[in-house]
Amino acid sequence: MDTPASGSLQSLSGHGARPLTGRRAPPAKIMELSQVKAIVTGAGGGLGGCFARELAAAGASVAAGDVQPAGLRDLAAAARTLPGKILPAPLDITDEESASAFVDTAAEQMGGLNVLINAAGIARDGLLISPRPGGVNKLPLAQWRKVVDVNLTGQFLMVREFAARVVTAGTLHAVVVNVSSIARAGNPGQANYAAAKAGLDACTRTWALELARYGIRVGGVAPGVTATGFLAGFSQEALARLEAATPIGRLAQPQDVWQAVRFILECDFFTGRVVEVDGGAAMGVL
Ligand SMILES: NC(=O)c1ccc[n+]([C@@H]2O[C@H](COP(=O)([O-])OP(=O)(O)OC[C@H]3O[C@@H](n4cnc5c(N)ncnc54)[C@H](O)[C@@H]3O)[C@@H](O)[C@H]2O)c1
């Protein structure tokens, strides 16, 4: 018997040891960024724009989608000098036809697809109820639905269309990265957003389990407060309070979150997990 007994310390150590099951481990699949053919949603925004630029800087092709065309124009202009290419096009991830047509066009224009980064998202904050003279204001149903539509249902549509296309094309190796938030743990005034992001994390785990057999890994990043247009409505005082409550002592920059996205793309043993990039912040103290 030349294999250590299973469960022993020795069996858990040792690089180059035979796989414990006796089966030959399949070789790790390397996702070279220069070979990436990616869809990035919310690419007109701060995080999506950063991910698209970083990918193009590494030589990747990127189909950049957003419901707001202005950000996409800026992105395309900034990308002209990069080795890869950025193909901007309108996309509403909450619209089934828009999502499906975008994925089809992206695959045709780039000659395939192997990465989806779901960075589109919105917040429409509001307390469940807020007392006013003579009664209470209630969080409107439309405000609840809008946030769940974009941050959860839209991500579902994109992952479904991407996976269907990739599997039909016989692509053997693909990666999905969903952008969650540390607000998934719950945050006053953000029930709609927290519920959608917690739901998205449940989908990340579920889709990782469902899609592993097709060679598709699914991971997530949960940023803390990040300096993008998302914070447009925040006062200077609120931002200073958030910084002070973050152990690292500053807000995240999109580049900080990109480092986690890059890790997920490149690490062949990563799936079904969500990486928090929050400077050590805990929602309870924000
Ligand atoms: N900035 C933060 O503090 C922070 C923290 C945690 C998580 N996030 C998440 O990161 C992601 C990116 O946020 P950001 O900070 O770049 O914000 P952002 O507002 O700069 O970018 C979001 C982009 O999504 C686009 N979008 C909205 N609805 C869309 C739709 N239906 N279809 C396609 N695109 C749509 C917007 O037009 C915008 O360009 C979001 O999912 C957000 O929830 C942000």
Domain positions in the chain: 30-281
CATH number of 30-281: 3.40.50.720
Q: What is the dihedral of CA 90, 91, 96, 99, to 10 degrees?
A: 100
pLDDT for the residue numbered 157: 98
Ligand 1 pocket member 67 (CB < 6 A): yes
pLDDT tens, residue by residue, 22-31: 667 777 888 9
Q: Say which of 51, 102, 193, 230 is annotated catalytic.
A: 193
d(CA 280, CA 286): 11
CA of residue 223 to ligand 1 center, whole Å: 12
CA of residue 154 to ligand 1 center, whole Å: 12
Nearest to 278 by CA among 206, 197, 215: 197
Ligand 1 pocket member 253 (CB < 6 A): no
Neighbouring residues of 163: CB distance < 8 A, sequence distance ≥ 6? 176, 207, 211, 214, 216
Ligand 1 pocket member 48 (CB < 6 A): yes
pLDDT tens, residue by residue, 212-221: 999 999 999 9
Q: In the structure, what pLDDT confidence band is assigned to residue 283 with cuts at 50, 70 and 90?
A: low
d(CA 54, CA 38): 12
pTM: 0.92
The pLDDT > 90 percentage for the chain reads 84
In the residue annotation, 193 being an active-site residue is answered as yes
